Amino acid sequence: MRIMAVDYGDARTGIAVSDEMGVLAGEAFIITEWSPERAAEKIADAAQSRRVGQIVLGYPKNMDGTLGPRAEKSEALAALLREQHGLDVVLWDERRTTVDAHRILSEAGVSGKKRKDTVDAVAATLILEGYLNSRR
């Protein structure tokens, strides 16, 4: 079963999709959308076209484990994906994934606009890798 990780943002949402065995992270890309409803539609379309069986949605907790406004937005998106699109959605603690994604891209020499255009896809890949590793 393919698994799709989602790093949800206000304007850009990172997506990463596993291989068919649900073992390795593969394709990564971004969706540009401001509306949560339209973002949910695009995520659902991407999941359907790639035969994804489960969505792992980044759940941005604060470093002390409390929940803030970003976590509430993720909960609302999860509800849209479940209720309107019938998707199996798991919320996954994504603390530090965006920070780590910036570090990885910086170490690789990626800067400026190119980093801005790819950081969300890298963060989604980190979410996916963390989830896949937890299943082993």
Q: Tell me the pLDDT tens digit for each residue of 75-132.
A: 999 999 999 999 999 999 988 788 788 888 888 888 777 777 789 999 999 999 999 9
pLDDT value of position 81: 98
Where are the domains positioned within the chain?
2-62+70-134
**Residue 43 burial (10 A CB sphere; 0-12, 13-18, 19+):** buried
More confident residue, 99 or 41: 41
pTM of the model: 0.92
Average pLDDT estimate for 14-22:
95
| DSSP category for residue 94 | -
Query: Residue 32's pLDDT band (boundaries 50, 70, 90)?
Result: very high
- Domain 2-62+70-134: assigned CATH number: 3.30.420.140
pLDDT value of position 14: 96
Residue 75 corresponds to which tokens in the numbers above? 């909960």
pLDDT value of position 71: 93
Give the Å distances, CA to CA, from 70 to 26, 58, 61, 97, 122: 26, 10, 8, 14, 19
More confident residue, 113 or 27: 27
- With b for 16 or more beta-carbon neighbours within 10 A and e for fewer, the 80-98 pattern comes to bbeeebebebebbebeebb
**Under DSSP, is residue 29 helix (H, G, I), strand (E, B) or coil?**
strand
pLDDT value of position 62: 85
